[in-house]
Amino acid sequence: MPAAATATTSATTSATSALPPHERAARLGCWAGPVEPEPLGGGITNTNFVVTDRGQRFVVRIGDDIPIHGVMRFNELAAARAAAEAGLSPEIVHAEPGALVMRHIAGHTLCEEDVRDPAMLARLVPLIRRCHLEVPRYLRGPALIFWVFHVCRDYAATLRAGDSRLVPDLPRLGALNDELEMAVGPIQPVFGHNDLLPGNFIDDGSRVWLIDWDYAGFNSCLFDLGGLASNNGLSPEQEDWMLAAYFGAPPDARLRRAYAAMKCASLLRETLWSATSEQHSTLDFDYVAYTASNMERLSLALEAFRRLPR
């Protein structure tokens, strides 16, 4: 591309990024005519809208790179496209800097109680395993690694630099992070979703879809399994069932301890993510309460981890 064209493109992108999210969604180049984006609630990283165009409904995700959270939109786009090709996620119909447009899925967005339902859990575990093993077959271009222990160290440095209210807790949390990393031990990398909140599953009545690939990257399967359990309040019995269903056999002592450590790590990461968002996010969300909730869940998970034999 000529230098002049590059400068024009950069200027246009910069000007568009300065617009309010609603206007950015309305001005995307994929629409056949004027559209009126309808706000879609539930997001705690992006601003989302539903748009009707040419008699079809689409979801628009507005959000630029968030380096402080390790969110790179090239990675989200690649993962979302691969997941769509694997049949796990809606089709991506348009993408441009700061915006992603996908087909709207008419269905029920899950809540924690839904995930804890045994029938639903039995549908989710195979879906997660398909994510881990099938999405990499369709992934194109550079790919990120999501190593939660690095993520937690980086968040701690950010919180320290920003004089967060959690600074007095950081030495203890840093030592815990190191301990958990040692307990997890060697891993077999898979392609993880890495953000298995209940709101990232949609049941259309015949199948469950997995959405929102902001944090996707190669990881241990135990992170997604631990995140599913910790984000949705699974019981110990359900966790044992989940591990047996995923691995095809009941967990032995080594796997159980590695899993419990990764579950704690997922809660530590969610706590530090929320504390960082307290200072840096502009979305209308009660991050302080979310930090406290995850810190409480971490304490309970840590008690269970410490009771396991070494």
Say how far apart CA 164 and CA 29 lie, in whole Å: 40
Two tokens, residue 222: 């135990």
Residues 153 and 283 in one domain: yes
Residues 179 and 272 in one domain: yes
Residues 25 and 169 in one domain: no
Show Cβ contacts of residue 65 under 8 Å, excluding neighbours closer than 6 positions: 71, 72, 73
| Domain count across the chain | 2
Residue 84's Cβ-count burial label (10 Å; 0-12, 13-18, 19+) is: buried
Summarize pLDDT for 87-115 with one digit per residue, the tens: 999 999 999 999 999 999 999 999 999 99
Summarize pLDDT for 126-183 with one digit per residue, the tens: 999 999 999 999 999 999 999 999 999 999 999 999 999 999 999 999 999 999 999 9
Residues 85 and 173 in one domain: no
Beta-sheet pairing, 99-103 with 108-109: unpaired
Residues 121 and 88 in one domain: no
Please state the φ and ψ torsions of residue 54, each to the nearest 5 degrees.
Answer: 55, 35
Residues 57 and 186 in one domain: no
Mean pLDDT, residues 247-274 taken together? 96
- The helix (H) or strand (E) run that includes residue 189 is strand 189-192
Residues 162 and 91 in one domain: no
Q: Which of 83, 103, 123 is the last residue of a domain?
A: 103
Give, in degrees to the nearest 5, the angle at Cα 48 between 46 and 51: 155
Q: Distance of CA 175 to CAs 38, 169, 200, 247, Å?
A: 45, 10, 31, 30
Q: Which of 48, 78, 103 is the last residue of a domain?
A: 103
Percent above pLDDT 70 for the chain: 93
- Give me the CATH number covering residue 282: 3.90.1200.10
Beta-sheet pairing, 99-103 with 56-62: antiparallel
> Which residue type occupies 179?
E
Residues 70 and 112 in one domain: no
pTM, rounded to two decimals: 0.90
Domain coverage including residue 70: 3-103
| pLDDT value for 122 | 98
- Give me the CATH number covering residue 30: 3.30.200.20
Residues 203 and 296 in one domain: yes
Say how far apart CA 51 and CA 64 lie, in whole Å: 19
Residues 270 and 134 in one domain: yes
Residues 46 and 136 in one domain: no
Task: Using the predicted structure, report yes or no on whether residue 59 has a pLDDT greater than 70.
Answer: yes
Residues 129 and 210 in one domain: yes
Q: Which of 51, 70, 103 is the last residue of a domain?
A: 103
